[in-house]
């Protein structure tokens, strides 16, 4: 399969893919979509960043359309279980993006935000529900949701769900689902406990696996420049002038930031264009065409605007701002070193971003080379982590409480809902990861040594009777 047309996806879905600028299916999509369209259960070994979300979302949307019936009150047709609020939000974003021409009804059920809005959203019934396991059970137990009409079940990042202690919740949920359903099961690794869980949940599953993202990342030369915030514009200009830049993609966290960077570069005599959500589709296309043709060699983008950008020959990715979601770093740098080419990724890290850098290094399990250009007064400041729960075993408020702080969401996730932000991923046990590496040895069949996109090593398991927070 070399093109999305080969799958025969329904026209509104094909149009959405065109809108997203998806041209070629990724390997996990090429393998999974035909099997899922044929109604098979699938076990997929794939990490975030491989395009796995579309590999389940597209065939499910197609099959929903083949038999478009109105969901009954308090039910859903598709249930996607994911370990974290953050990932759940991204999955919902993807369903909404691929289903944008379908008038899809899709909603989230995640912990850490009030239940009332979720209860109301489920009242008329929805086609797609993306949920973290604990909140889902709360909704079922509170009579806000019935699971007997689920036709499609997706488990995403199953290994992480087990790591986080969700096994009992998952078993309880699966016990309430109809036996006749299609199940798509994704995990970055396939140790025995995950394989056992899959064996209990799937019927005659087809197996697919993709090369880890590490193979791309290994070709990217990554480095960090630590500096003061105020020094960033000059440092960026210097990189773009000095490095042998073919095409450079510069990432900023905000739209405003992207425009400011473009203005700053113009002052330094460097032509650049910004691409972000405030720009019209026409503008976006013009800018992309200029970038593709090499007319303008620097493109400044926010994460969401960059999603659909598929340009070969990006020699440099520069993170003007470091992302506060570590996976985003991996997505960003993956824009270079495409199609077997080499790439350079340089990140400017100032002030509080040091905490984001730690998260990134933890995820990729690599200590990135750093050049310290901070002014003396700034060097010793090692700011406390800004975002709840990311840097140590911290007590969380009771799951489902309304009182959780709601850190700023990344751009990518701002599209859904307009209620309180779901908190950043809590990952209650992540901090134990370093200690548990030894336990992991020999557990991951055939995936050992996959350093890059693999999650933190499996943390100590919690008491199986204790419900994790999410
Ligand atoms: P995922 O692994 O599902 O989180 O996807 C990683 C990123 O790749 C997301 O930003 C997707 O929007 C993007 N993506 C997924 N499939 C494709 C494709 N076929 N072509 C271009 N981008 C894609």
DSSP state of 424: S
In 10 A of CB 357, how many CB atoms?
A: 19
In the structure encoding, which two tokens stand for residue 262, read together?
């473009």
Neighbour-count burial for 401-432, b at 16+ CB within 10 Å, e otherwise: eeebebbebbbbbeebbeeebbbbbbbbbbbb
Nearest C-alpha to atom 10 of ligand 1 is from which residue?
307
Answer whether residue 204 shows pLDDT above 50. yes
Same fold, 4-209 and 220-391: yes
Cα(342)–Cα(244) distance, rounded to whole angstroms?
Answer: 12
Taking residues 182-186, what's their average pLDDT?
97
Q: How high is the pLDDT of residue 361? A: 87
pLDDT value at position 427? Answer: 31
Q: Can you list the pairs that 254-261 forms with residues at least 24 positions away whose Cβ atoms lie under 8 Å?
A: 254/302, 254/321, 254/411, 255/302, 257/302, 257/320, 257/321, 258/300, 258/301, 258/302, 258/305, 261/233, 261/236, 261/300, 261/320
Average pLDDT of span 59-79: 97
Position 439 scores a pLDDT of 26
Of 11, 4, 14, 78, the residue nearest 34 (C-alpha) = 4
Give the C-alpha separation, 451 to 291, whole Å: 32
Sheet of strand 248-251: strand arrangement:
273-275, 298-301, 248-251, 316-319, 343-349, 220-226, 370-372
**Rounded to an integer, what is the distance from CA 466 to the centroid of its chain?**
27
Q: Which two tokens stand for residue 436?
A: 């548990």
Give the whole-angstrom CA distance, residue 158 versus residue 194. 7
- Looking at ligand 1, which residue's alpha carbon is closest to its atom 8? 51
141-154: average pLDDT = 97
Where is average pLDDT lowest: 75-89, 128-142, 302-316, 345-359? Answer: 302-316
List, for residues 251-304, the tens digit of each pLDDT value. Answer: 999 889 999 999 999 999 999 999 877 777 778 778 888 998 889 999 999 887
With a 6 A CB cut-off, is 22 part of the ligand 1 pocket?
Answer: yes
pLDDT at residue 457 is higher than 50:
no
- Cβ–ligand 1 distance for 331 under 6 Å, the answer yes
Structure tokens at 367: 């200590």
332 CB near ligand 1 (under 6 Å): no
* pLDDT digits 0-9 by tens, 229-239: 999 999 999 99
Contact 339, 24 (CB under 8 A): no
Judge if the beta carbon of residue 468 lies within 6 A of ligand 1: no
Asked if 201 and 154 count as a contact pair (C-beta separation under 8 A), the reply is no
CA 314 centroid distance within chain = 22
CB–CB of 79/177 below 8 Å?
yes
Fold adopted by 4-209: Rossmann fold (3.40.50)
Ligand 1 centroid–CA 370 distance in Å is 29
Ligand 1, atom 20: closest residue by C-alpha: 22
Of 7, 26, 45, 288, the one to substitute when testing ligand 1's pocket (max ligand atoms within 8 A of C-beta) is: 26
Residue 31 Cβ inside 6 Å of ligand 1? The answer reads no
Size of the chain in residues = 470
Alpha carbon distances (Å) from 87 to 14, 20, 26, 413: 24, 19, 20, 9
Mean pLDDT for the chain overall:
79
CATH architecture classification, 220-391: 3-Layer(aba) Sandwich (3.40)
Q: 316 in ligand 1 pocket by Cβ < 6 Å?
A: no
- What the block records as the tokens of 237 is 């200009």
**pTM, whole model, 2 decimals?**
0.56
Q: Does ligand 1 lie within 6 Å of residue 152's CB atom?
A: no
The CA distances from residue 364 to 24, 193, 251, 294, 357, in Å, are: 26, 24, 19, 31, 11
Round to whole Å and give the CA distance between 65 and 252. Answer: 37
| CA 244 – CA 154 distance, rounded (Å) | 44
Q: Is the dihedral of CA 261, 266, 268, 274 positive or negative?
A: positive
- Averaged pLDDT for residues 48-73: 94
> What are the strands, taking DSSP E only, across 115-218?
126-131, 152-155, 182-187, 206-209
- Name the band, by pLDDT with cuts 50, 70 and 90, for residue 391: very low
Q: Please say if the pLDDT value at position 356 is more than 60.
A: yes
The number of the ligand 1 atom at minimal distance from the alpha carbon of 26 is 19
**pLDDT surpassing 70 at residue 24:** yes
* Strand ranges of the sheet holding 182-187, from the earlier edge strand across to the other edge: 106-109, 126-131, 76-81, 152-155, 182-187, 42-45, 206-209
Instruction: For a ligand 1 pocket test, name from 51, 311, 335 the mutation site with the most ligand atoms within 8 angstroms of its C-beta.
Output: 51
Domain ranges of the chain: 4-209, 220-391, 398-449
Distance 431 CA to ligand 1 centre (A): 28
β-strands 343-349, 220-226: how paired? parallel
In whole angstroms, give the CA distance from residue 361 to residue 357.
6
Instruction: Kindly state the average pLDDT of the residues 385-413.
Output: 32
């Amino acid at each position: 399969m070399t093109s999305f047309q080969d799958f025969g996806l329904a026209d509104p879905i094909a149009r959405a893919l065109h809108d997203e600028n998806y041209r070629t299916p990724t390997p996990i999509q090429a393998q999974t979509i035909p099997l899922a369209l044929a109604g098979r259960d699938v076990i997929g070994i794939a990490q975030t960043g491989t395009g796995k979300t579309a590999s389940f979302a597209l065939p499910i949307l197609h099959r929903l359309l083949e038999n478009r019936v109105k969901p009954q009150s308090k039910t859903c047709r598709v249930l996607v279980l994911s370990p974290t609020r953050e990932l759940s939000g991204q999955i919902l974003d993807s369903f909404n993006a691929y289903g944008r021409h379908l008038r899809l009804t899709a909603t989230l059920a995640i912990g850490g935000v009030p239940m009332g809005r979720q209860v109301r959203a489920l009242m008329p019934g929805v086609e797609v529900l993306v949920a973290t396991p604990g909140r889902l059970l709360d909704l079922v137990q509170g009579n806000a949701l019935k699971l007997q009409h689920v036709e499609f079940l997706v488990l995403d990042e199953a290994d992480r769900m087990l790591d986080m202690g969700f096994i009992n919740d998952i078993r309880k949920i699966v016990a309430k689902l109809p036996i006749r359903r299609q199940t798509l099961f994704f995990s970055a690794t396939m140790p025995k406990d995950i394989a056992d869980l899959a064996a209990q949940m799937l019927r005659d599953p087809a197996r697919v696996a993709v090369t880890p993202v590490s193979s791309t990342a290994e070709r990217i030369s990554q480095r960090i420049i630590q500096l003061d915030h105020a020094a960033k514009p000059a440092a960026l200009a210097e990189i773009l002038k000095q490095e042998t830049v073919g095409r450079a993609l510069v990432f900023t966290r905000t739209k405003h930031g992207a425009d400011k960077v473009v203005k700053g570069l113009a002052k330094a005599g460097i032509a650049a264009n910004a691409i972000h959500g405030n720009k019209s589709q026409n503008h976006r296309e013009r800018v992309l065409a200029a970038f593709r043709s090499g007319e303008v060699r620097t493109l400044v983008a926010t994460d969401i605007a960059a999603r659909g950008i598929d340009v070969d020959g990006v020699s440099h990715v520069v993170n003007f701002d470091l992302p506060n979601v570590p996976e985003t770093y991996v997505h960003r740098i993956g824009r270079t070193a495409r199609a077997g080419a080499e790439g350079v990724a340089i990140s400017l890290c100032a002030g509080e971003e040091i905490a984001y850098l730690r998260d990134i290094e933890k995820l990729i399990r690599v200590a990135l080379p750093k050049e310290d250009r901070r002014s003396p007064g700034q060097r010793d400041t090692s700011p406390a982590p800004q975002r709840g729960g990311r840097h140590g075993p911290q007590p969380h408020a009771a799951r489902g409480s309304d009182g959780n702080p709601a850190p700023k969401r990344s751009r990518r996730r701002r599209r859904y809902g307009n209620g309180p932000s779901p908190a950043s991923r809590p990952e209650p046990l992540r901090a134990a990861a370093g200690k548990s590496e030894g336990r992991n040895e020999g557990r991951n069949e055939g995936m050992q040594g996959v350093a890059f996109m693999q999650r933190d090593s499996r943390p100590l398991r919690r008491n199986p009777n204790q419900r994790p927070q999410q």
